[in-house]
Structure 1
Amino acid sequence: MTILNNYNNKMIRLTALLLLSSTFSTFAQENTKVDNDKKYIAFLTNSIENTIVNKESRAIFVKESRTYWHNQKLDYNLHPENYAKAISLYHQNQLKFKQNKEQIDTIRKIRINKAVESFQNFDDRNSFPEKSVLFIGSSSIAGWKTSLSFPEFPIINRGIGGMNMLEIIENYDLLVKKYAPSIIAIYCDIDIENGKSPKESVDVFIALVHKIKNDFPKTTVLLLSMKPVMIDDFIGKDIRKNKMAANKQLLKFSINEKNVDFIDLASPMLNQDDKLKTDIFIEDGMHLNALGYTIWDPIIRKKIVELTR
C-alpha cells in the first residue's frame, strides 16, 4: 500500500511539473509573440516616418515583412482582427516602397516567353489530342497535375506561373488556338494581385472569351473562380475583396453567354464559419497542395463529364 501511495504521489508531482512546464512554455511563446508584434509595428511606424526610399531600404522592408507575415500567416487567417494596426501600417509601407512596374513586367515577360517557347518545342516533337480539354492560366493551372487528376480525358495543360490575362491573349495562337480544344478552362488571378480593379481584370477575360468564341463557336469556356489564399492581404490591400468582386462579375458575364460557364472553386475552400481552410496550401500560403486540388478535382470532373456526355 505504501509503495502504491508513493507511486501515486510521484505521478501526481510529475503531472504537475508537466502542466507547469506546458503553461510556462505557452506563456513564453505568447510573450515572444507580443514582443515580435511590438517590434514589427515599431519598425513599420519608423519606416513610414523616417526612412528614405532607396534600393536598400526597400530590401529591408521586404525582408522584415516577409519574415513577420510568414510566421504569422496562420494566426492572421484565424484572427485577422488582432492585426488591424500591423496590416494597416504594412499597406502604407507597401505604397511607399512600391517597386518599378516596368522592371517587374520586363523580368516576368522574359520568363513567360521562355515557358511559351518550351511548350512550342514540346509540341514540335509531339502530337496533341483532338477535341482536347485545355487548361490555361497562371500558377494554379501550372501546378495542377491535370492529366493525373482527369486521366480519362484528353488533357492539355498550358499553365504558366505569373502569366496575366493580357499575356495569354498575346500568346493566344501558341497557347490556345493551335489545339482547337473542345473545352477550355481558364484560371488567372495575376491581374488582381498586381493591383488592377475587378472590372479591368474581368474585361480582359471577356476579350479572351470573345476571341475564343470567334474561332471556336462550339467550344465551351469554363471560367474558374479566383481563389482566396492565406497571403491575400500581404500581397496588397483589398486583394481578397477584389478577387471576390471579380468572381461575381465573371459569373454575371457567364449567365448571358452561350457555351460559357462560371465554376465556383472558391466557396469549397472555406470552412462553415467562412474562414479559409489553411491546410490546403503549401508552405508559402499561396499555392495549393495536393489536398487543395482534391477539392477542385471532383468539381471540374463533374463539369467535364456533363459536357462530354
Structure 2
Amino acid sequence: LFARSLTLTLMALLSINGFAAEKSEHNFDRWEKSISQFEKQDQEQGVKTGGILFVGSSSIRMWDLDKYFPDQPVLNRGFGGSEIVDSTHFADRIIIKHQPKLIFLYAGDNDLARKKTAEEVSNDFKQFVAKVHKSLPETRIVFIAIKPSLSRWKLADTIQKANKLIAAQCAKDDLLEFADVWEPMLGEDGKPRPELFKSDGLHMEHAGYLIWKKAVQPYMDQK
C-alpha cells in the first residue's frame, strides 16, 4: 500500500512539473520561416515606412487588407497560430523597422486556448506596448478585442475577462485604443453568429471581416 501511495505521489509530481514546463516553454523558432518571408518581401519591395501595420495571428494573416482598405497604406504582418509574445519577440524584424504611425494588434485567441490566464494575456499586451514604444514612442496601438468564436466558445468567460483587462489598460494611455468586435459578432441569442465563420468555426468569412473593418476604420480616420 505504501509503495502504491508513493508511486501515485511521484506520478502526480511528475505530471505537475511536466505541465509547468509545457506552459513555460515557448518555441519562437517555429515562426522563423514566416518571419524570414516577411524579410524577403522587404528586400524585394523595399521597407515600407510610416503606414498602418496589422500584426498578430491568423485572423490578421487571412485578412486581405488591400481589398478592405484600398486607399490606406496598410501592411500585413500577421502569422497564423501566433500569440502576443510572438509579435513582441519579433517586433524588431517585422514592426519597428517599418516605423508605423498606427498598429493594429490581434492576438490572445491562441494564448488562452493554450491555457494562459486572462491576466497573463493582459500582461503580454503590456509588454508588447513597452517593446514598441521603446523605439516608437509616438506610435498609436489599437488592440482588436479577442473575438467570440464557435470553436472556442467554452473560453468565452476568460476571453471577456482578458478583453476587460486590456480595455482598462488602453483607457489609461492616450496612445492606446481598444476596438470592440465582441458585441457585434454575437447574435440575439448572445452567442457567436454562425454566418461569420468558416467551417472550422474559428476563422472568419467576409461578413466577419466587414464587422472588423467597421470597428477599426474610425482609428484610421483619426489624424
C-alpha distance in 1, partners of 2:80/2:114? 14
1:268 aligns with 2:184: yes
Partner SS, residue 244 of structure 1: helix
Equivalent in 146, 150, 175 of residue 94 of structure 2:
175
Query: 1:199 corresponds to which letter in structure 2?
Result: E
Matched-pair contact (CA < 8 Å) for 2:185–2:192: yes
Percent sequence identity over aligned pairs? 26
C-alpha distance in 2, partners of 1:108/1:101? 15
Matched-pair contact (CA < 8 Å) for 1:230–1:276: yes
Query: 1:175 corresponds to which letter in structure 2?
Result: I
1:241 aligns with 2:157: yes
Q: How does 1:65-214 map to 2 (within 5 A)?
A: 109-188=28-107, 189-214=109-134
C-alpha distance in 1, partners of 2:131/2:147? 24
Matched-pair contact (CA < 8 Å) for 1:108–1:162: no
Alpha-carbon shift at residue 106 of structure 1 (Å) = 8.8
User: Counterpart in 2 of 1:258?
Assistant: 174
TM-score normalized by the length of structure 2: 0.85
Partner SS, residue 279 of structure 1: helix
Alpha-carbon shift at residue 107 of structure 1 (Å) = 10
Alpha-carbon shift at residue 113 of structure 1 (Å) = 0.9
User: Counterpart in 2 of 1:64?
Assistant: none
Alpha-carbon shift at residue 104 of structure 1 (Å) = 11
Matched-pair contact (CA < 8 Å) for 1:224–1:265: yes
Give the number of the structure whose alpha-carbon radius of gyration is greater.
1
C-alpha distance in 2, partners of 1:131/1:301? 18
Alpha-carbon shift at residue 128 of structure 1 (Å) = 3.7
Query: 2:139 corresponds to which letter in structure 1?
Result: T
Alpha-carbon shift at residue 302 of structure 1 (Å) = 2.1
Seen in structure 2, the aligned counterparts of structure 1 residues 118 and 107 have a Cα distance that, compared at 3 Å, is: farther
- Structure holding more helix per residue: 1
Alpha-carbon shift at residue 272 of structure 1 (Å) = 2.7
Alpha-carbon shift at residue 206 of structure 1 (Å) = 0.4
Can you give the 5+ residue segments of structure 2 that lack an aligned partner in the other structure?
Answer: 1-14
C-alpha distance in 1, partners of 2:136/2:125? 16
Matched-pair contact (CA < 8 Å) for 1:220–1:259: yes
1:304 aligns with 2:220: yes
C-alpha distance in 2, partners of 1:275/1:170? 34
Matched-pair contact (CA < 8 Å) for 2:171–2:177: yes
Matched-pair contact (CA < 8 Å) for 1:134–1:185: yes
Q: How does 1:51-66 map to 2 (within 5 A)?
A: none
| Count of equivalent residues | 206
Can you give the 5+ residue segments of structure 1 that lack an aligned partner in the other structure?
Answer: 1-95
C-alpha distance in 1, partners of 2:65/2:21? 33
User: Counterpart in 1 of 2:211?
Assistant: 295
TM-score normalized by the length of structure 1: 0.62
